[in-house]
Structure 1
């Protein structure tokens, strides 16, 4: 997001520079442009010569302007390369008791959705972390969904979207006990 803002800022600055260059005349050091040049092409060359003249006349201001535009973009892209510490739950696997509770809540059937947002018809085989354990998901009953092997492997370590979570919550209203938490997803708090 910061990279997009920085790029947008650089684009706006370039547009302002181009607008100023079309209003002003080329510097004295610029060669004469041919008279038969198209006005748009002439405006582009005037803009280029305006930038060249500005850099030659005010090098410190030019370096500062480049630093102001490029430094935030470079820092934001650098921060994405640095590793982040993800706090994971010390318990990786669900216990036998947690798995049996999840299976009985789901009626032994997979809780994941198929292509038309309907519940999968296969029998569940394992408890899956709705919010992935590797990305900070907790190993709790609130984060466990009962899934068949096919749905479990196809989900992988992706974070479910808001809408996937809302649809699972709506499906759970039909078969979950009234006292159980319907909304899946629980994270480890650092």
Structure 2
């Protein structure tokens, strides 16, 4: 136990000169890199619906007024380009479901530059802040990558029993 305590004291003495800049650096990396807790996908199975089509696509485009929802500069302002694509905030390839609360209307350039990155918390908060100015009154601006029970039910297709052909002899 004494050996472990002395080793720990020695390691702390070695790190002490670097602590004034090391601790803020680690905090900054954690804050900028990691997504918001509770907002990302909370299940391991992928949503079988890969793309936004029909009703969900129309809803996402309508509430964005067919204009790109991405930031004009880092997290401020709003892109002026017309929205041509609807994509996931939390990417489908990383477990994000294809639901309206996880959809965003984007121009081709912003959709291509975004790729399959998992959004950091500041991106999500910036998107929600921008949405307050153009979403219909009373609409929920929050981004949630969670499927409701209705969404899950819509994705389950009842199995139809196969018809068996009878052969007569």
TM-score by length of 2: 0.59
Quick check: which one's helix share is greater?
1
Matches within 5 A, 1:146-157: 146-157=105-116
Matches within 5 A, 1:64-143: 86-116=44-74, 117-143=76-102
- Helix, strand or coil at the partner of 1:99: helix
- Helix, strand or coil at the partner of 1:181: coil
| Structure 2 contact 87–105 (Cα < 8 Å) conserved | yes
Using the alignment, how far apart are the partners of 1:187 and 1:102 within structure 2? 16
Asked if 1:159 is matched to 2:118, the reply is yes
Using the alignment, how far apart are the partners of 1:132 and 1:144 within structure 2? 10
What is the aligned counterpart of 1:145 among 90, 104, 108?
104
| Structure 1 contact 88–188 (Cα < 8 Å) conserved | no
Which structure's relative contact order is higher, taking Cα pairs within 8 Å and 6+ residues apart? 2
Asked if 1:13 is matched to 2:14, the reply is no
The unaligned stretches of length 5 or more in structure 2 are: 14-42, 149-169
Using the alignment, how far apart are the partners of 2:137 and 2:59 within structure 1? 14
Using the alignment, how far apart are the partners of 2:144 and 2:80 within structure 1? 22
TM-score by length of 1: 0.53
The unaligned stretches of length 5 or more in structure 1 are: 1-9, 20-84
| Structure 1 contact 114–120 (Cα < 8 Å) conserved | yes
Q: How many residues align?
A: 114
Label 1:14 to 1:101 Cα distance change in 2 as closer, same or farther (>3 A). Answer: closer
Using the alignment, how far apart are the partners of 2:69 and 2:132 within structure 1? 12
| Structure 2 contact 92–98 (Cα < 8 Å) conserved | yes
Larger Rg: 1
